[in-house]
Amino acid sequence: MKSSGSPTVQPVILSILVLLLVFTIPGCSETPVKEPAVAGSFYPSDSGKLSTMVNGYLSNAQESPVNGRLIALIAPHAGYIYSGAVAGYSYRHLQNKKIKTVILIGPSHHASFKGVSVYEKGRLKTPLGLVKINSGIASSLIRKEADVTFYPEAFEKEHSLEVQLPFIQRVFKGKASIVPVLIGTPTAESYSFLTSRLTEILRKHEDVIIIASTDLSHYYPYDTAVGKDSKTIDAIERMSLEDVQQLLAAREGEMCGGNPVLFTMTVARNLGATNGVLYNYANSGDVSGDRSRVVGYAALGLYKSPLAESEKSELLRFARDTVVSYVRDKKIPRPDIADKRLRANGATFVTIKTGGGMLRGCMGNIMPTMPLYESVITNAVNATSKDPRFQPMNEAELHDINIEVTVLSPLESMSDKKDFEIGKHGLYIVKGYNRGILLPQVPVEFGWDGDTFLKQVCRKAGLPEDAWKESSLYRFTAEIID
């Protein structure tokens, strides 16, 4: 009996032991690897050819000198023979950057799903090797209640993110991890959660960057495509979310990655991005020679850039000229502005004081919903005539006034409501229908400490002095021009 049972039992036991060893010995466990879907079609499947091609795109691209912090990039995702040269311009601007993680946001072309899909863990494969997913960040983006989940089918055939990987591998020499994010049909919940979470991550980690993957207009005659794409690019350069949305809704502009770009612009604007910079634009007709039905491609960077001294002087001049023109003749200047930084959307306050330093009017906007120069002109008019604390200015007062322009950063929600610095931060409070704002220079002028600043912003909103404890409180910084 022993001998007859032995040959059957022993192999089974041996197999079990082998399986246990595989799953318990360090280094033997398998990490999920996603095979490439478009190698050999969108880009070469041969590693040598692919490496040579990507290196060529990077070396041929020119780097634009930009003053400011690069927060996000926009890159195309067509076949390399069409859009690779343009994509090279985006990635050229990442060379020598100390980036550890790239968050890739692209559109889903092949799968329909609600909300957003985040590839949570494992590695993605290209002919150049494996790219590791930052599972810590990826997992922190998953929230089923907000329609942000891992829907693996969305990634099976998708090219919008995959074509970015060889560029990332070459630029960072395999040392950067990624977080792949595909946008399906976004919901209000997925938009709110994901943009807020990404803002938190990038605010804490300057070695993380977002890249939005999109092509522009599809299959129009050459000149029509250039016209549509120019409008879209201009709105992105001005960091105007509102105009991008309007262009897409009216089909005056097109992006297959429109939602990824809007998500990315929202995060960038939350982080203080002031303007976009176009590195390069082309379309498929420039490569194929067929201009009858083309697809547009753009390489752009989203930057947080300080104002140049010449731009500050120009804004102050706009404010002064507007005050004089409106008080004397009720005319509002309409200057033709070429400077893209001044045409970018911004939030400002214009403050008018008498020669003796007494406040005469102060009005502004806190959200960047109009071009910076237009914000200054609008608020200069309002400061002369719509500040409810004062009568409209008259011409006799013009000889004895001082004007100050304050350019605001985006509002930043404060979890610790005493996490602000006198002289650096302004405060904005919201409770119900009550709202109040005080600029950073106000507590300095009056010699307030932190507690007094909190009490005064409550009073400004028509709230009890301790209402800040149970209100939404935001801080912001500012560039003050006088």
Q: Are 319 and 405 in contact (CB under 8 A)?
A: yes
Per-residue confidence in pLDDT tens, the chain, 482 aa = 333 343 444 444 434 333 333 333 344 445 789 999 999 999 999 999 999 999 999 999 999 899 999 999 999 999 999 999 999 999 999 998 999 999 999 999 999 999 999 999 999 999 999 999 999 999 999 999 999 999 999 999 999 999 999 999 999 998 999 999 999 999 999 999 999 999 999 999 999 999 999 999 999 999 999 999 999 999 999 999 999 999 999 999 999 999 999 999 999 999 999 999 999 999 999 999 999 999 999 999 999 999 999 999 999 999 999 999 999 999 999 999 999 999 999 999 999 999 999 999 999 999 999 999 999 999 999 999 999 999 999 999 999 999 999 999 999 999 898 999 999 999 999 999 999 999 999 999 999 999 999 999 999 999 999 999 999 999 999 999 99
**Apex 89 CA angle, 86 and 93, nearest 5:** 160
Rounded to a whole number of angstroms, the distance between the first and last alpha carbons of the chain is 102
Q: Which residues contact 309 (CB under 8 A, 6 or more apart)?
A: none
Residue type, 158: E
User: Phi/psi at 252 (nearest 5 deg)?
Assistant: -80, -15
Phi-psi domain of 31 (left: phi exceeds 0; alpha: psi -120 through 50; beta: other): beta
The model's pTM is 0.89
Residue 5 CB contacts under 8 Å (≥ 6 apart), including other chains: none
Residue with tokens 């409770």: 431
What does the pLDDT look like over 191-212, one tens digit per residue?
999 999 999 999 999 999 999 9
The whole-angstrom separation of Cα 57 and Cα 83 is 10
Tens digits of residue pLDDT in 104-140 = 999 999 999 999 999 999 999 999 999 999 999 999 9
- Please tell me the predicted confidence (pLDDT) of residue 30: 57
Per CATH, the number for 33-304 is 3.40.830.10
- Round to whole Å and give the CA distance between 465 and 453: 10
Residues 6+ apart with CB under 8 A from 481: 307, 312, 315, 316, 404, 405, 406, 407
**SS3 assignment for the chain:** CHHHHHHHHHHHHHHHHHHHHHHHCCCCCCCCEECCCCECCCECCCHHHHHHHHHHHHHHCCCCCCCCEEEEEEECCCCHHHHHHHHHHHHHCCCCCCCCEEEEEEECCCCCCECEEECCCCEEEECCEEEEECHHHHHHHCEHHHCEECCHHHHCCCCCCHHHHHHHHHHCCCCCEEEEEEECECCHHHHHHHHHHHHHHHHHCCCEEEEEECCCCEEECHHHHHHHHHHHHHHHHCCCHHHHHHHHHHCCCCCCCHHHHHHHHHHHHHCCCCEEEEEEEEEHHHHHCCCCCEEEEEEEEEEECCCCHHHHHHHHHHHHHHHHHHHHHCCCCCCCCCCHHHHCEEEEEEEEEECCCCEEEEEECCCCCEEHHHHHHHHHHHHHHCCCCCCCCCHHHHHHEEEEEEEECCCEECCCCCCCCCCCCEEEEEECCEEEEECCHHHHHHCCCHHHHHHHHHHHCCCCCCHHHHCEEEEECEEEEC
Cβ-in-10-Å burial (0-12, 13-18, 19+) of 57 comes to buried
Determine the pLDDT at residue 64: 87
Percent of the chain whose pLDDT exceeds 70? 94
Q: 10 Å Cβ neighbour count for 219? A: 12
Mean of pLDDT over the chain: 93
The answer to whether the CB of 106 falls within 8 A of the CB of 155 is: no
Residues pairing with 177 in the sheet: 101
* Tokens read off for 266: 């929202």
* Residue 213 structure tokens: 């993957």
Q: What is the CA radius of gyration of the chain?
A: 27
Cβ burial 432-463 (10 Å sphere, 16+ → b, else e): eeebbbbbbbbbeeeebeeeebbbbbbebbeb
**For the purposes of burial, counting CB atoms within 10 Å of the CB of 173, is it exposed (0-12), middle (13-18) or buried (19 or more)?**
exposed
What CATH fold (topology level) applies to the domain 309-481?
Glycoprotein, Type 4 Pilin (3.30.700)
The domain segmentation of the chain, as residue ranges, is 33-304, 309-481
pLDDT tens across 319-355, in order?
999 999 999 999 999 999 999 999 999 999 999 999 9
Q: Report the relative pairing of strands 101-107 and 208-213 from DSSP bridges.
A: parallel
